[in-house]
Amino acid sequence: MNRELLAAAAPKWIEIQNFSAETKHRMLSMWIGAVIDAIEMDHAEPDTWEAMHLTYAVQALVDGKHYAALTFSEIALMDPIARRPERLQPNGPKAVKLADLRRAAELLSLRKPPKQGK
């Protein structure tokens, strides 16, 4: 996977911030799915860093926090060599499986976005 190329294709917040909540929700659901697919093509399961940030992205989308969902999914694309601290080496916490993330993202795409507070 070319992480830089995929990151360059990410939706830009400045362009989508004024979209309806439903449009942002659907767009970011598709984007997170694309990131999950790219990680799966790169290596069978995400490493701890990727799994953690994709999990955060999915949760942010559940909570209607679209900017956070976009940001966390972009962080998951960071080059492993540039971002992996010692504590996230292979002996770190148990990784989330891509199937778990994919199922959460699929279920989430079927939900209506939460109502935004005023």
pLDDT digits (tens, 9 = 90+) for 3-34: 888 889 999 999 999 999 999 999 999 999 99
Residue 108's pLDDT is what? 87
Q: Report yes or no on 23 lying in a domain.
A: yes
pTM for this entry: 0.72
Q: HSE on the CB side for 114, CA within 13 Å? A: 12
Vertex 97: Cα angle to 28 and 22 (nearest 5): 15
Residue 114's pLDDT is what? 77
Q: Report yes or no on 55 lying in a domain.
A: yes
What's the pLDDT tens digit per position in 55-104?
999 999 999 999 999 999 999 988 776 666 665 566 666 667 888 889 98
Residue 95's pLDDT is what? 67
Q: Report yes or no on 9 lying in a domain.
A: yes
Residue 44's pLDDT is what? 78
Q: How far is CA 36 from the centre of its chain?
A: 7
Query: Per the structure, how many domains does the chain have?
Result: 1
**Domain limits for position 85:** 3-110
